[in-house]
């Protein structure tokens, strides 16, 4: 899968994945979604973002955890 809106630049933001070369980390967008922010509120918080940026951040995160073992707590 190729990501056109996600960039990683070693000399910018410590090399963390960001949106379109902007100083907006993918993790920040995902955190807002996890906290229950609507797409509209995220776009208001970051006027340089586009709706497609948010969707691609989610796809990027899904791909990043695909087929990896994550430490999870066992349910009782």
> 33-49: per-residue pLDDT in tens?
999 999 999 999 999 99
d(CA 75, CA 71): 13
| Residue 76: pLDDT band with limits 50, 70, 90 | low
Please state, as a whole number, how many other Cβ atoms lie within 10 Å of the Cβ of residue 57. 27
The residue ranking higher by pLDDT, 66 or 28, is 28
Overall average pLDDT of the 45-68 stretch: 92
Q: Note the pLDDT tens digit of each residue in 5-40.
A: 999 999 998 999 999 999 999 999 999 999 999 999
- Residue 57 confidence (pLDDT) above 80: yes
């Amino acid at each position: 899968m190729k990501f056109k809106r996600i960039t990683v630049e070693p000399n910018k933001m410590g090399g963390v994945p960001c949106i379109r070369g902007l100083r907006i980390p993918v993790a920040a967008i995902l955190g807002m979604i996890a906290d229950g922010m609507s797409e509209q509120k995220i776009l208001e918080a970051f006027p340089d973002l586009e709706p497609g940026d948010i969707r691609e951040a989610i796809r990027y995160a899904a791909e990043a955890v695909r087929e990896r073992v994550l430490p999870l707590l066992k349910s009782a």
